[in-house]
């Protein structure tokens, strides 16, 4: 059995002028990984024939699978389909099923007039297998040459995802015989990457060659992931279980969860197990904690709501923070976040609540409370815990850091009550 | 004067297993563009010497600037520095300024014990110019060979950004003589890419070769960007102004703003001009509109707060939606979002408010109200407008679509009142 390597080529000038962030590639990499395909490289090129052809030539030298996204739109700057037709020596023909689907989408779903450019999206090279795209007008295309597979997909994320799951991954699994790949992931919080590395260096040094460790830091959290590959599923899973058990013991005091699960889901699962509810009272995080919580499907089982109290009058009128506290201690203070938790518990009628108040910058800082100062509180009707943080640098990062630390404080509080 | 091309090489296994999204490259591309450097390609490779060396060889064939990020951390999987030392034939020496800075960071800022791995981050090849990283422990490195510039930066976003702005971009501008590059961008909403293309095809066909058009769709918005390059700043700006004026006329009815500005900032600017305030009452968007609004620095000037009413009891108790309405029409109904706006205007005491209620999926849909059904309302104390949407597919996309359309409805309402 041979290791199967893939390369992703993303096509589009928008990737090179920086107006879009490529969220497709990480998702595709994860899905390929799960089926035992290693991503060797990712390349982003512009909407230029010579660049696309050069990338195809280069990537097919040492990868058996080349997946392209983008450049399939109806506008003049989208040239991928024509380039592929030339590259594989085909002729353009109309795919009837796609043509009917385009007519259906415009008439019934988009309810927009259909124009020639849209109809032409049904034209495909006669040397490809058409991958029907039920979510959009541009079909996927599958080409084979010299034992390699070349797949072209639209860049629109939900169209790409639909095609990958329904068409591409099942076909790749049929086409190649692949080694078994498996992962174990755990999440830590409140400790740095280098400090963790020191804690586990002896364990890391004894890892067998078919198991690799990755450190995946994200704000104040670090995920540790071990990945193994092998011919026998049973032996590999067994090896991974043993190594993972050792790793968990070594980092036990900093571990949030021993799965690849976001913190907001860990909080949600804790609440579901206990049949409890939560609310957030957010000043500096501006609703971001609520957004993280509600990004999880089914969060309405345990999340009741939020008061974002950006203005002090909302802290007073809706969350019942005392006027005197706001005057004497200020909005960014321990007493304010305590009262915000109390107010949220009553106003939103929940078992637990978490609150934030801080200065996110770039303006608003002072000598005693510089930009990055954030008070966080979490609690229930009997007890409230607080924590003071000093973040730095940019606004977006401070919002993210404050939200993650608030969720982690809430998690620890729920777990111990 | 010669066109200067750059390539970005991002280094790290985490990019190939899909556990991080690369937000560095789009930012770097934008900043390079502003200084007249075109990004020709982006490549992501793993933490493997042969892969890094191959990418350096390949990218330096047709790019004068190669910028690398990542692989400079203190852990064993980070090998970029050693690979570059070998590639450029140097010897490792300790950079004293960086060493002192690392000691300072651990003692005064991180307040964590310092270990040998951290101190070794001050070691650099003696054939590079060290770029001092005030935001972190890994310094940047600048190498030159055969007229090419190679820069290595840490992958941590705020560290990379600090180094780019303070060290890399000023040095590149000194090093190369570059053509002048300029852009004009406008934002449209509510109309598809192909429909826009049809509206402006004659104008697009007459564009001179030094001016290029890009369509940048993002959910239900499309940005149109024209980019020109030339030796004379004055002539280029003049050419762009003329073309942009024509484009604006052609798409006037769908244009949100004639700048490269996010919708949430357009809403904020409208409110600031009018000295008015706003609030949000969010059910299905779960605080995401508030997050978008508060991601803009200075939003406390016009944004007072939010009630996220995920539970019906919060709609009733805090936003004063009538119990009868919730029973008879349901939470996802025109009458509910109207009352949510009214409730937010009173509870949060603002001039304008926007409200959302819908079914985001994957669960919760019914025959009459399938997943993707969203009611949106915006208004003031005198008038409320509503709109019904039918989104489809995944939860994250539905939240994003609902938030953007809510902001756009609010924008149109404020602009006309």
In this predicted structure, the answer to whether residue B71 has a pLDDT above a threshold of 70 is: yes
Q: How confident is the model at residue A393 (pLDDT cuts 50, 70, 90)?
A: low
Q: What is the pLDDT of residue B212?
A: 84
What is the nearest CA distance from B64 to chain A, expressed in angstroms? 16
To which residue do tokens 């109200």 refer? B369
What is the interface pTM, i.e. ipTM, of the complex?
0.82
B104 touches chain A (CB under 8 A): no
Q: Does A204 sit within 8 Å of B362, measured CB to CB?
A: no
Q: Among residues 185-214 of chain B, which lie with CB inside 8 Å of chain A?
A: 192-195, 197-198, 201, 204, 212-214
The answer to whether the beta carbons of residues A341 and A347 sit under 8 Å apart is no
Nearest CB to A309: which of B212, B287, B305?
A: B305
Residue numbers in A near B218 (CB within 8 A): 20
Mean pLDDT of chain B: 93
Q: What is the pLDDT of residue A278?
A: 98
What is the nearest CA distance from B31 to chain A, expressed in angstroms? 9
Q: Where are the beta strands (DSSP E) in B19-82?
A: 38-45, 65-69
Q: What is the pLDDT of residue A380?
A: 98
Q: Does A298 sit within 8 Å of B214, measured CB to CB?
A: no
Nearest CB to A18: which of B20, B27, B305?
A: B27
A148 touches chain B (CB under 8 A): no
Cα A297 to the center of its chain, rounded Å: 15
Q: Does A74 sit within 8 Å of B194, measured CB to CB?
A: yes
Return the percentage of chain B with pLDDT > 90, whole number: 75
pLDDT in tens, B137-168: 999 999 999 999 999 999 988 899 999 999 99
Q: What is the pLDDT of residue A3?
A: 81
Q: What is the pLDDT of residue B190?
A: 78
Q: What is the pLDDT of residue A358?
A: 97
Q: Where are the domains of chain B?
A: 4-175, 180-257, 263-415
Q: Does A293 sit within 8 Å of B77, measured CB to CB?
A: no
A135 touches chain B (CB under 8 A): yes
Q: How far apart are the first and last CA of chain A?
A: 51
Alpha-carbon distance of A177 to A179, in angstroms, equals: 7
pLDDT in tens, A188-245: 987 878 789 889 999 999 999 999 888 777 777 888 989 898 889 999 999 999 999 9
Nearest CB to B158: which of A193, A286, A394?
A: A394
Nearest CB to A288: which of B28, B157, B291?
A: B291
What is the nearest CA distance from A14 to chain B, expressed in angstroms? 7
Superfamily of domain B4-175: MoaB/Mog-like domain (3.40.980.10)
Nearest CB to A76: which of B26, B204, B290?
A: B204
Q: What is the pLDDT of residue B1?
A: 54
CATH number, domain A180-257, options 3.40.50.300, 3.30.70.2860, 3.30.930.10, 3.30.1300.10: 3.30.70.2860
pLDDT in tens, B85-108: 999 999 999 999 999 999 998 887
Query: What secondary structure letter does DSSP report for B109?
Result: I
Q: What is the pLDDT of residue A376?
A: 98
What is the model's pTM?
A: 0.82
Tally helices (H) and strands (E) across chain B: 17, 17
Please give the residue of chain A at the shortest CA–CA distance from B316: A348
pLDDT in tens, A364-377: 888 888 889 999 99
Q: What is the CA radius of gyration of chain A?
A: 26
Q: What is the pLDDT of residue A353?
A: 98
Residue numbers in A near B18 (CB within 8 A): 25-31, 33, 39
Q: Which CATH class is domain B263-415?
A: alpha beta
To which residue do tokens 């690849």 refer? A260
Mean pLDDT of chain A: 93
**β partners of residue B183:** B227
Alpha-carbon distance of B122 to B128, in angstroms, equals: 13
Query: What secondary structure letter does DSSP report for A110?
Result: I
């Amino acid at each position: 059995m041979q290791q199967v390597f893939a390369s992703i080529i993303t096509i589009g000038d928008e990737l090179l002028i920086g107006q879009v962030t490529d969220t497709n590639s990480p998702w595709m990499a994860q899905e390929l990984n799960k089926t035992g395909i290693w991503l060797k490289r990712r390349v982003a090129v512009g909407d230029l024939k010579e660049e696309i052809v050069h990338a195809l030539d280069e990537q097919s030298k040492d990868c058996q699978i080349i997946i392209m996204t983008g450049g399939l739109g109806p506008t003049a700057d989208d040239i991928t389909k024509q380039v592929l037709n030339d590259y594989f020596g085909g002729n353009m023909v109309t795919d009837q099923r796609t043509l009917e689907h385009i007519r259906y989408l415009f008439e019934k779903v988009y309810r927009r007039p259909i124009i020639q450019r849209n109809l032409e999206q049904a034209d495909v090279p006669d040397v490809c297998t058409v991958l029907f795209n039920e979510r959009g007008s541009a079909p996927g295309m599958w080409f084979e040459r010299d034992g390699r597979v070349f797949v072209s997909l639209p860049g629109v994320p939900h169209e790409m995802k639909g095609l990958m799951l329904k068409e591409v991954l099942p076909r790749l699994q049929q086409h190649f015989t692949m080694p078994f790949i498996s992962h174990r992931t755990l999440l830590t919080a409140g400790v740095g990457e280098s400090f963790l590395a020191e804690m586990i260096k002896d364990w890391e040094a004894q890892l067998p060659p078919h198991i690799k460790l990755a450190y995946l830091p994200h704000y104040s959290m670090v995920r540790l992931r071990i990945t193994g590959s092998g011919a026998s599923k049973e032996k590999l899973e067994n090896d991974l279980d043993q190594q993972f058990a050792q790793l968990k013991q070594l980092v036990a005091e900093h571990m949030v969860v021993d799965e690849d699960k976001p913190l907001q889901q860990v909080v949600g699962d804790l609440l579901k197990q206990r049949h409890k509810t939560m609310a957030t009272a957010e000043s500096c995080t501006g609703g971001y904690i609520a957004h993280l919580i509600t990004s999880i499907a089914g969060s309405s089982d345990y999340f009741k709501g939020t008061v974002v109290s950006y203005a002090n009058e909302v802290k007073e009128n809706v969350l019942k923070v005392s006027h005197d506290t706001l005057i004497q201690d200020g909005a960014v203070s321990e007493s304010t976040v305590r009262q915000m938790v109390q107010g949220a518990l009553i106003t939103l009628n929940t078992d637990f609540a978490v609150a934030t108040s801080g200065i996110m910058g770039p303006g608003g800082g002072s000598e005693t409370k510089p930009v990055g100062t954030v008070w966080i509180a979490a609690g229930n009707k009997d007890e409230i815990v607080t924590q003071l943080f000093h973040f730095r640098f940019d606004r977006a990062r401070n919002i993210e850091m404050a939200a993650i630390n608030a969720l982690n404080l809430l998690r620890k509080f729920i777990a111990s009550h």
